[in-house]
C-alpha cells in the first residue's frame, strides 16, 4: 500500500489509519507524484491512495504513469466533492483508477469525520482483497446458466454497476452501436449526484452517445443512454407505447441509485422484453432485481468476476444462477448484439 499526497497532515493521517489495519503493509508515503513515480518500481504497492490536486504533477497526469510503472496496482483517487473535483475524478476513473473517495470540505472534517475514515479503510480493504484474488478463477463451478429467452425481442436495456463501472459501461456501450438506436438504455451507476451529471456529459461529449441524466418524470427514448441521478432512485413504468421514469421511493441503502429498484421495475414494465446487465461492483445490489427480470421471462447477463475491478455484484447474480451469459466486456457486447439482432436489423 502506498499514499501519494502533497499535504503532510493528510499523509500522516492516512498513514496512521492504514497502519491500524493489520492486513495492510504500508510500503510508501510520498509527498508528490514525481517522488512516487521514482520509487514505485522498487516498492511495487498493490493499492495506491492518490490525491488528484497536487503541484508539479497532478494525479490525473500521474495516474497512467503509475499504472505503467506498476500495472497490477489498484488506484484509489481522492478528491474534493466539488464540480471540479468530480470532473477530475471521473477522468481518472476513465483512465484506469479503480475507485474514488470524496474528501470532506475542510481539513478539520477530514480528521474528525469517523465515516470518512471508515469509508477509506473499507475501500482500501475491498481493493486489496480484489488484488489478492486477481489471478484466481471464479470460485465455481458456475451454476448452470439460465437459457436466454428467444421469443421476445428486447425493448429495454438496463445496466447496473458500482466500483469500476464508468469505464466498463463506456466500453460496453462502444461494443453495441447498432443496438442502441433500437431501444432505450437505463444506467444505474453508484455515484454521488455530482458525478452522475458529469458521467452523462462524458458519454455525450467523449463517447459521442446521446445521453442524459434522469431523476424521474422523463420519457425514456430509443437510442438514448439515461443515467440515473445519484441522489435517489427511479422506477420504470410503461405508458402506452413508451417507457417512463418515475421518482423511486427512498431506501436505506448507503449507495444510490438502487439497481434492484431499476431492474425490478424494468421487469414489471417490459416483462420478457427486459434485458439486464450487471457489471463490476461491490455488494449485491442488482441481484434481487435480476431475479425479477428472469422471473418475468427476460434475460440477465453478468460480467465475468475475474474481469471486474470488484466482482461481488456479478458474483451474486452468478451464484444465484440468474445469468444466461457470463463474460468480459467484449463477450457481453457480442452477446447483446446477438440477443438484440432483430432490433439491429430494423
Residues 92-139: pLDDT tens digits?
A: 998 889 999 888 877 777 887 888 999 999 999 988 886 544 333 333
**C-alpha cell recorded at residue 62:** 500521474
pLDDT score at 251: 59
- pTM value is 0.84
Q: Could you report the per-residue pLDDT of 240-262, keeping only the tens digit for each?
A: 999 999 998 865 556 789 999 99
Q: What is the number of alpha carbons within 13 Å of residue 251 lying toward its C-beta?
A: 19
Q: Is the dihedral of CA 159, 160, 166, 171 positive or negative?
A: negative
- pLDDT band for position 47 (50/70/90)? very high
Only one residue has cell 497512467, namely: 64
Half-sphere exposure of 345 (CA within 13 A, CB side): 6
Mean pLDDT across the chain: 88
Instruction: List, in order of start, the domains of the chain with CATH numbers.
Output: 2-132 (3.40.50.2300), 156-345 (3.40.50.180)
Cα(200)–Cα(242) distance, rounded to whole angstroms?
22
- Quote the distance between the C-alpha of residue 246 and its chain's center: 23
Catalytic residues: 162, 190, 285
Over the range 219-253, which residues count as b (16 or more CB within 10 Å of their CB) and which as e?
ebebebbbbbbbebbbbbebeeeebbbbebeeeee
Whole-angstrom Cα distance, residue 118 to residue 267? 36
At 91 the three-state DSSP class reads helix
Amino acid at each position: 500500500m502506498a499514499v501519494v499526497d502533497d499535504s503532510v497532515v493528510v499523509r500522516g493521517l492516512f498513514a496512521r489509519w492504514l497502519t491500524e489495519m493489520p492486513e495492510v503493509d504500508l510500503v510508501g508515503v510520498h509527498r508528490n507524484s514525481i517522488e512516487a513515480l521514482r520509487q514505485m518500481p522498487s516498492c511495487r504497492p498493490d493499492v495506491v491512495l492518490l490525491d488528484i490536486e497536487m503541484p508539479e504533477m497532478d494525479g490525473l497526469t500521474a495516474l497512467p504513469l503509475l499504472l505503467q510503472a506498476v500495472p497490477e496496482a489498484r488506484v484509489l483517487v481522492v478528491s474534493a466533492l466539488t464540480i471540479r473535483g468530480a470532473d477530475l475524478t471521473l477522468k481518472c476513473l476513465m483512465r484506469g483508477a479503480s475507485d474514488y473517495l470524496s474528501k470532506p470540505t475542510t481539513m478539520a472534517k477530514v480528521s474528525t469525520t469517523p465515516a470518512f475514515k471508515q469509508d477509506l479503510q473499507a475501500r482500501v480493504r475491498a481493493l486489496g482483497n480484489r488484488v489478492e484474488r486477481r489471478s484466481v478463477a471464479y470460485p465455481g463451478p458456475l451454476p448452470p446458466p439460465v437459457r436466454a429467452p428467444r421469443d421476445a425481442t428486447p425493448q429495454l436495456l438496463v445496466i447496473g454497476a458500482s466500483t469500476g463501472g464508468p469505464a466498463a459501461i463506456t466500453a460496453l456501450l462502444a461494443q453495441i452501436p447498432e443496438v442502441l438506436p433500437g431501444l432505450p438504455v437505463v444506467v444505474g451507476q453508484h455515484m454521488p449526484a455530482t458525478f452522475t451529471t458529469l458521467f452523462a456529459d462524458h458519454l455525450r461529449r467523449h463517447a459521442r452517445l446521446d445521453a442524459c441524466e434522469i431523476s424521474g418524470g422523463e420519457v425514456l427514448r430509443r437510442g438514448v443512454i439515461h443515467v440515473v441521478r445519484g441522489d435517489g432512485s427511479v422506477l420504470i413504468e410503461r405508458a402506452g407505447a413508451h417507457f417512463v421514469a418515475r421518482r423511486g421511493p427512498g431506501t436505506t441503502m448507503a449507495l444510490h441509485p438502487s439497481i434492484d429498484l431499476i431492474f425490478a421495475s424494468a421487469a414489471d414494465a417490459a416483462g420478457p422484453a427486459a434485458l439486464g446487465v450487471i457489471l463490476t461492483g461491490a455488494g449485491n445490489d442488482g441481484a434481487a432485481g435480476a431475479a425479477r427480470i428472469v422471473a418475468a421471462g427476460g434475460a440477465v447477463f453478468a460480467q465475468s468476476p475475474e474481469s471486474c475491478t470488484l466482482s461481488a455484484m456479478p458474483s451474486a447474480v452468478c451464484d444465484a444462477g440468474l445469468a444466461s451469459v457470463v463474460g468480459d466486456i467484449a463477450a457481453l457486447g457480442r452477446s447483446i448484439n446477438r440477443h438484440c439482432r432483430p432490433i439491429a436489423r430494423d
